[in-house]
Structure 1
Amino acid sequence: MLKPTLALAAGITLSLSALFAQAAEVLRVSAIPDEAPTELLRKFKPLGNYLEQQLGMQVQFTPVADYPAVVEALATDRLDLAWLGGFTFVQVHQKTGDAIPLVQREQDAQFTSKFITSDPSVQSLADLKGKTFAFGSVSSTSGSLMPRYFMLGDDIKPEEFFSRVAYSGAHDATAAWVQAGKVAGGVLNASVWDKLVANGKVDTNKVRVFATTPPYYDYNWTVRGTLDPALAEKIKTAFLALDPANPEHKAILDLQAASRFIETKPENYQGIEDAARAADLLK
């Protein structure tokens, strides 16, 4: 009677071992939903294939519903790697204390946001006084936090200055709202604006940029603090190895709106943490 039981137990142990080994061979990746899920998947697919080749493991990308979902999933070890905005990185780092920003695009060290309008009479933020305005997600660095921070520095309190403040949820949605006249003005990140213009997704005869924020640090690829350090190092090396002189690599970089990737560190996002505290968005 004992032999079949032992055999069954051994079989279960082997099955569980195989299951855990398989799970360890999957890199779980996601990104803040600052664009439509289909667009995020399209942009990530070639990068995911590249990472699989470089790491020798399966890479699985899963879109999430909102910004807090990425923060929670990374903080609870349900994700290994995530594309974060500066503010979402600050939130994860505050929640865990050990999340590690590996790399950022070269331009993320000098990132900006664009203020846009379809109203011909608007030449500056002052001209939007008493009109409607849209941010992106409330948790977006470039679509909400930093533009708001710079507005407050100019003594513009959005909820008092505009007749109505709305949140579109994503940068491309903000542009669509402004173009459709749903709001008189809005703000979105410079990279998405440039892409929308280049792809003909926004009519520049109707919508135009009227102001640009000062530069700040923004996006990065972050790993959970409990990830194997050797794997984290391999991921960083893979990103840093992307060479714009290599046509296959350039195609990946172009989809990421990146000239190249460079190393980053938590200290780079101290300014964003300060802005979040000034806006009462962090305890």
Structure 2
Amino acid sequence: MPISEWFQKKGKYLEVTPKTEKRPVPDGIWSKCAECGEIIYQKELVKNLWVCPKCNFHYKLSAYDRLGILLDGGEFNEFDASISSDDPLKFKAEKTYLESLNQSKEKTNLNDAVVTVKGKIDGRPVIIAVMDFRFIGGSMGSVVGEKITRAAERAIEGNSPLIIVSSSGGARMQEGMFSLMQMAKTSAAIAHFKETGLPYISVLTNPTMGGVMASFASLGDVIIAEPQALIGFAGPRVIEKTIRQRLPKDFQKAEFMLDYGQVDLVVDRNNLKATISKLLDSFMGGLK
């Protein structure tokens, strides 16, 4: 029998393997690492605090997720949550500043790019401010500056350590000079806080850039960075175009900044709370 006739006989060779129906993988079960492309079981990623178990890539966290990781039981008392930005310049580009604010508020359920709270780390009361990159790139406008300043003042009043977790693209230029003034305002607030002798720990996450890095983020008694966080003032591409030179490998990454003395520690997210707790013990002894 010619071989061509084999495939004309139904059921003899064409259906050797039963057909199986392809079932789609439900959304939210698996994630693909944005850095290495590894397919990760979602529950494993959450358990690992949103750090890729293969390449150690640290995903961005919302402010409330970050607080849940750092504070005992994820419990805290938030203050100044209702403060919201105005539009002093009536700024308009592709969309108005008010449109950008309203869209970010709806997306994040926040009124601006920083959350300030009182909580505890291993039983020790602390004042902590956490920036949220989802809100207009974590940019610092007048509200961010005001809330950081008030957090420092509350830490003074409560005789509490101050912790600020930064994640920002820099100053919010839709507010022009009002935004740039926050660099001096927050720096002055931190200087006033340091007169108490209480510790200020600055945590830099990916990215911490521009006016935030040029002010309060760089003024910590101890500056901690998460692995591979981009840290600096201007971005690498801007610098290369300005100086017309190739930059070193991993320029402005946390490990590079550690080698050149710009940060004190690079700490994996899974060890961050324990590291902060040890630092607070060192600064304050047995006081709680």
Greater RCO (Cα-Cα under 8 Å, separation 6 or more): 1
Structure 2 length as normaliser, TM-score?
A: 0.29
Q: TM-score, normalised by structure 1?
A: 0.30
Name the structure where helix makes up a greater proportion of residues. 1
